[in-house]
Amino acid sequence: MEGRIPLIGEEFPRMEVKTTHGNKVLPDDYKGKWLVLFSHPADFTPVCTTEFVAFQKRYDEFRKLNTELLGLSIDQVFSHIKWVEWIKEKLGVEIEFPIIADDMGDVSRQLGFIHPKKGTNTVRAVFIIDPNGIIRAILYYPQEVGRNIDEILRMIKAFQVSDENKVAMPANWPNNELIGDAVIVPPANNVATAKERLASKELTCYDWWFCYKKLQ
């Protein structure tokens, strides 16, 4: 993976980072948990502040999904600490998750977080990493548009349901326009299975390649 950013399906590269909660080794320190690693352009900026508050407001929901949060920007740890103090004092919200102080930019460059036309600023990137340290999703947002934190929660729920049941999730799950909260069964890969699908009482099918079911 040397020389390029990691991709979906690959192991998150092992690295030691400095955070507001002390040094951490990624992804080792989060083994057995899901991890949302997200970068923000800079401390003491309006959009980033709204994102941190939004993440914190949903932290309990992430924890219920066995998921931890980890922020990052190219700021010193002192800046992170002061910003977190400001958020608590002025907005009444205590940020409980750690923030990586990537003041040299090494982590951001390795992960592809640097905005190509904004100097050393990071984009609003999101890596969703599973309990085995595998990167499952990568999201990028521009500086001028804040993230939808509920969508990140939805993705983690969808991953967990998909992994447990070996199914795929439709658009806007669990509120899909065609099949509601049902899940999609992997397409048949041979003629016999295709015929069985259409005759199955456990599945509902538009056709043999598009079958779905309700989870119990």
Going by C-beta distance under 8 Å and a sequence separation of 6 or more, which residues neighbour residue 66?
A: 32, 33, 34, 131
The pair of three-digit structure tokens given for residue 210, joined into one six-digit string: 């598009």
Phi, psi (rounded to 5 degrees) for 208: -65, -25
| Residue 100: closest CA among 88, 92, 110, 108 | 108
The pair of three-digit structure tokens given for residue 176, joined into one six-digit string: 């899909």
136: phi > 0 → left, psi -120 to 50 → alpha, else beta; which?
Answer: alpha
- The rounded distance, in Å, linking the Cα atoms of 137 and 16 is 21
The pair of three-digit structure tokens given for residue 134, joined into one six-digit string: 């595998």
DSSP type of residue 106:
H
Angle formed at CA 74 by CA 63 and CA 29, multiple of 5 degrees:
35
Which residues are catalytically annotated?
Answer: 48
| Residue 173: closest CA among 207, 215, 135 | 215
| Residue 184: closest CA among 166, 160, 203, 211 | 211
